[in-house]
């Protein structure tokens, strides 16, 4: 699918016509990172969508799925990390700690605001104990960054809820149909300013392996570290069949052990010529990268041995345009051979396209051993010193595009800008 550049940025980071950037003070971080905690997917999705002003979160998403979406609240860049089940009472301490780690990792280096999504008629003593257990899992200083959001008008005062709100320095926002984004943003800004722009520091997790992965990424790739692979291409059936073969599974699973490594395989939906909306395609793209914590090690782009069709070439161009050229050092082109007489010869056009993606490629036929492919992937890891393509890398690339686009607009006359609308997709 071909994106309009303005809609691309509207969907991911900022609206079409953002205000001129102003100098950031020490108490105003470039992106405000918000963690949203609740009990139910539908409620969390509603609040998250209100914050971002669009349908960013799916009300039918899996309840145990922690998701991160970036957008804007008024004139402010915000990142919302949504954990829709962490305040449920039945969760074990181990489950809570692991989910808190994931929330903190997705908000790296830490959240500025943590939201408790609670209800007047569903707040008991057990809920209070659950809230305190969850918050203590973050940090002893968590209450400096906490606020409460409720989504219903109370029929009567709930003393337990009032105690929680008081402990959160009486920071409470009641979300109703007439609620104002300005009021909510001001509450967020007040929390950030009170903390001098500093995010929540969770020292208890800093020494854990979960949070040292980022440091390990600059060192040699560890044998016991999860290997995150993303399967790309225009043919969904072909991607699935190759994924199954790599994972050596007759019944598909997302994570398996392969050659001594834990493999996390994620399939990227086709980006070109799809029936999905631009917003949904971008949402799935971000989700794909987010599912590869702490980042993607290798993107496998599937192409046939035969000359590429226009659709296949457009898909590859779309991948590179959306992710930027920074993806190239993480790409392996996987050339699928179906003929009985397999050769290593490629036509000149295919060679040129492969070179534009960094030149790494591997033939993959019916007799090819998976271990051969793994050796090639190991070489990429060595070349990159374990480096990753993370969600932050993706967002930085989008921001760079946006700034370049805004600079171009400043030099354009209104007539030129109007006539160039149809060519926005050419901006790199």
Q: Would you state the pLDDT for residue 258?
A: 63
Phi/psi-derived region of residue 259, left when phi > 0, alpha when psi is between -120 and 50, beta in every other case: left
Question: Are 163 and 230 members of one domain?
Answer: no
Q: How far is CA 150 from the centre of its chain?
A: 26
Among candidates 289, 363, 374, which has minimal Cα distance to 326?
Answer: 289
Q: Is residue 48 part of a domain?
A: yes
Q: Would you state the pLDDT for residue 5?
A: 27
Question: Are 276 and 200 members of one domain?
Answer: no
Query: What is the Cα Rg of the chain in Å?
Result: 23
Question: Are 197 and 307 members of one domain?
Answer: no
Q: Would you state the pLDDT for residue 256?
A: 61
Q: Would you state the pLDDT for residue 252?
A: 46
Per-residue burial over 107-117, b = 16 or more CB atoms within 10 Å of its CB, e = otherwise? bbebbbbbbbb
Question: Are 110 and 141 members of one domain?
Answer: yes
The residue from 149, 181, 206 where one domain ends is 206
CATH number, residue 296: 3.40.50.300
Q: Is residue 382 part of a domain?
A: yes
Q: Would you state the pLDDT for residue 323?
A: 86
Predicted confidence pLDDT, tens digits, the chain (428 residues): 322 222 222 222 223 333 333 333 444 567 889 999 988 888 898 899 888 888 888 777 666 778 888 887 777 788 899 888 888 888 888 888 888 888 888 888 889 999 999 887 778 888 888 888 898 888 888 899 999 999 877 667 788 888 899 888 899 998 887 778 888 888 999 999 999 888 888 765 543 433 333 434 433 445 456 889 999 998 888 888 888 888 764 344 455 666 667 888 899 988 887 676 767 767 778 888 888 888 899 999 999 887 888 888 888 888 888 888 888 889 999 998 876 555 567 788 888 888 888 888 888 887 777 888 888 888 888 888 878 898 888 887 777 767 776 677 666 644 334 334 334 443 33
Question: Are 168 and 260 members of one domain?
Answer: no
Question: Are 185 and 233 members of one domain?
Answer: no
Task: Give yes or no for a contact between 253 and 403, defined as CB atoms under 8 angstroms apart.
Answer: no
Helix axes 93-106, 209-216, angle to 10 degrees: 30
SS3 262: strand
The residue from 171, 206, 241 where one domain ends is 206
DSSP category for residue 63? T
Q: Is residue 121 part of a domain?
A: yes
Residue with tokens 């805004």: 406
Q: Is residue 229 part of a domain?
A: yes
Q: Which two tokens stand for residue 403?
A: 């700034």
Q: Would you state the pLDDT for residue 424?
A: 43
pTM of the model: 0.48
Q: Is residue 195 part of a domain?
A: yes
Residue with tokens 């179906």: 338
Q: Are strands 146-150 and 172-174 parallel, antiparallel or unpaired?
A: parallel
The residue from 159, 180, 206 where one domain ends is 206
Q: Would you state the pLDDT for residue 203?
A: 63
Among candidates 27, 46, 114, 38, which has minimal Cα distance to 83?
Answer: 38
Among candidates 155, 114, 149, 154, which has minimal Cα distance to 135?
Answer: 114
Question: Are 199 and 215 members of one domain?
Answer: no
Question: Are 274 and 181 members of one domain?
Answer: no
Question: Are 118 and 267 members of one domain?
Answer: no
Q: Would you state the pLDDT for residue 421?
A: 39
Q: Is residue 256 part of a domain?
A: yes
Please state, in angstroms and rounded to a whole number, the distance separating the CA atoms of residues 92 and 103.
17
Domain span at residue 314 reads 211-391
Q: Would you state the pLDDT for residue 330?
A: 93
Question: Are 269 and 329 members of one domain?
Answer: yes
Count: domains in the chain: 2
Please state, in angstroms and rounded to a whole number, the distance separating the CA atoms of residues 112 and 31.
9
Q: Is residue 179 part of a domain?
A: yes
Question: Are 192 and 228 members of one domain?
Answer: no
Question: Are 51 and 187 members of one domain?
Answer: yes
Q: Is residue 396 part of a domain?
A: no
């Amino acid at each position: 699918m071909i994106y309009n550049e303005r809609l691309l940025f509207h969907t991911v980071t900022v609206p079409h016509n953002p205000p001129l950037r102003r100098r950031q003070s020490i108490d105003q971080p470039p992106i405000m990172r918000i963690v949203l905690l609740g009990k139910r997917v539908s409620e969390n999705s509603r609040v998250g969508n209100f914050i971002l002003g669009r349908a960013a979160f799916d009300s039918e998403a899996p309840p145990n799925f922690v998701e991160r979406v970036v957008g804007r609240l008024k004139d402010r860049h915000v990142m919302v990390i949504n954990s829709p089940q962490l305040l449920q009472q039945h969760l074990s301490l181990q489950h809570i700690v692991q989910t808190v780690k994931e929330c903190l990792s997705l908000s790296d280096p830490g959240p500025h605001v943590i939201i408790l999504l609670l209800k007047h008629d569903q707040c008991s003593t057990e809920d209070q104990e659950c809230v305190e257990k969850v918050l203590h899992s973050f940090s002893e200083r968590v209450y400096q960054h906490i606020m409460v959001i409720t989504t219903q008008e109370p029929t009567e005062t709930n003393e337990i809820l009032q105690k929680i709100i008081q402990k959160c320095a009486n920071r409470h926002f009641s979300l109703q149909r007439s609620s104002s984004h300005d009021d909510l943003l001001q509450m967020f800004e007040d929390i950030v300013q009170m903390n001098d722009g500093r995010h929540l520091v969770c020292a208890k997790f800093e020494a854990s392996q979960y949070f040292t992965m980022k440091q390990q990424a600059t060192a040699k790739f560890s044998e016991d570290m999860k290997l995150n692979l993303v399967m790309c291409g225009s043919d969904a059936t072909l991607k699935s069949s190759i994924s199954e073969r790599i994972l050596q599974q007759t019944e598909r699973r997302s994570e398996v052990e392969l050659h001594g490594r834990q493999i996390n395989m994620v399939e990227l939906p086709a980006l070109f010529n799809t029936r999905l909306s631009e917003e949904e395609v971008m949402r799935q793209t971000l989700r794909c990268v987010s599912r590869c914590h702490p980042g993607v090690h290798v993107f496998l782009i599937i192409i046939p041995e035969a000359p590429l069709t226009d659709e296949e070439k457009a898909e590859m161009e779309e991948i590179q345009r959306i992710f930027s050229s920074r993806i190239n050092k993480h790409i392996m082109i996987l050339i699928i051979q179906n003929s009985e007489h397999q050769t290593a010869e490629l036509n000149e056009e295919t060679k040129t396209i492969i070179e534009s993606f960094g030149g790494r490629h591997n033939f993959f036929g019916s007799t090819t051993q998976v271990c051969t492919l793994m050796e090639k992937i190991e070489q990429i890891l060595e070349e990159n010193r374990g480096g990753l393509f993370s969600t932050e890398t993706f967002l930085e690339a989008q921001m760079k595009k946006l700034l370049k686009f805004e600079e171009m607009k400043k030099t354009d006359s209104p007539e030129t800008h109007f006539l160039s609308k149809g060519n926005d997709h050419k901006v790199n």
